Amino acid sequence: MELPTVDLQPFISSNRSEKQECYKLQESLHRYGAVAIRDPRVQEEDSEKFIELLEQYFEQPTLVKLKDCRPDISYQVGVTPELTEWPRDNSKYAEKLSEQNKPTPFDGPDKKWRFQWRIGARREYTKFPELLAEPVIPENFPQWRQVMDSWGQKLLDSVFTVSEMLSIGLGLQSSTLPNLIRFGTHLLSPTGSDLNLYGTKPGTVLAGFHYDISFLTIHGRSRFPGLYLWTSEGERIPCKIPKGCLLVQAGAQLDYLTGGYIKKGYHEVIVSKETCRVVEEKKSRHESLWRVSSTMFTHVEPDKMLYPLLETSETSSYPPVFAGVQVEDELKAIKLAVV
């Protein structure tokens, strides 16, 4: 099945008066924890240019990439090697799923590299200064900053519009969600999985069953299939994104802010039969076999409080917490934080 597609154009061109797509947006996030969006400001070529740069980066020898690694600051900028990040133990949630909707068995850590690059404005003073580290620029990529900033800013602009539309769709003031993320620690965070190594055996898990810590996660289309999503009813579905569209997924912070009305979206990335077919095709054309995701995590500003903005039956399960504390707790749980 395909996710509902929300078009941002009517909202943007009507000067924010066209509301129909706002309701569709919140309904899709509520049911599926995800939505496909079409943003007239983002073209398929932008995504392709970004993916090509990251393919070249991940193709480099391991020792070259390790120069860009900053474990002392919890890998918050620069590269995170494969086999470092552990999916959080979500077995309690997985137990409740029916047999055909169970996650693919895996025993972590994840077989994916990641590169983290900050996007957007920051406040000068914060209680969470470790989240403000200097960017890492890899050697031999003179275009790095321009390509990363350009793609990241496009995704961030999309998320600001989505968050404005979502505020309206939820019956909040249109500026409510944009104001919470205006100075958030947004991270362009592409992953790279080496399908030369892992792309031959269907059932191999590249990123184990998990949810994102973020407010919203946004990506362009990957060149390889393999992402599976769980709907809020616990149904596992392959993620198909129409050409020219972006995928937006609900993270833990949005779950918090909606008092569980929009649940954080669980997902996994595996090598499927379809992935193997694409690997064979690309091999015959001598194309890169690194599966790159053009992902960006957007976050609520760390010094803002997370608490439910909607009245729901689950409100008491979401006690107020600083967004920066919630992120630190989650990083410890996936073994990335230095404690």
Q: How far is the CB of 247 from Fe ion (least distance, A)?
A: 11
Considering only residues 275 to 314 of the shown chain, the ones binding Fe ion according to CB under 5 A are none
Tokens, residue 66: 């390790």
Residue whose CB is less far from Fe ion, 212 or 328: 212
Q: How far is the CB of 268 from Fe ion (least distance, A)?
A: 9
Q: How far is the CB of 210 from Fe ion (least distance, A)?
A: 6
> 5: helix, coil or strand?
strand
Considering only residues 199 to 228 of the shown chain, the ones binding Fe ion according to CB under 5 A are 212
Residue whose CB is less far from Fe ion, 114 or 167: 114
Whole-angstrom distance, CA of residue 70 vs CA of residue 66: 9
Q: How far is the CB of 212 from Fe ion (least distance, A)?
A: 5
What angle (nearest 5°) sits at the alpha carbon of residue 216, between those of residues 252 and 264?
A: 30
What angle (nearest 5°) sits at the alpha carbon of residue 167, between those of residues 166 and 170?
A: 80
Residue whose CB is less far from Fe ion, 21 or 212: 212
Q: How far is CA 139 from the centre of its chain?
A: 26
Q: How far is the CB of 206 from Fe ion (least distance, A)?
A: 11
Residue whose CB is less far from Fe ion, 28 or 167: 28
Rule CB under 5 A: is residue 55 a binding residue for Fe ion?
Answer: no
What is the size of the binding site for Fe ion (CB under 5 A)? 1
Tokens, residue 167: 């505020």
Residue whose CB is less far from Fe ion, 229 or 300: 229
Whole-angstrom distance, CA of residue 276 vs CA of residue 273: 5
Strand ordering across the sheet containing 227-230: 205-210, 267-270, 227-230, 236-238
List residues near Fe ion by CB under 5 A: 212
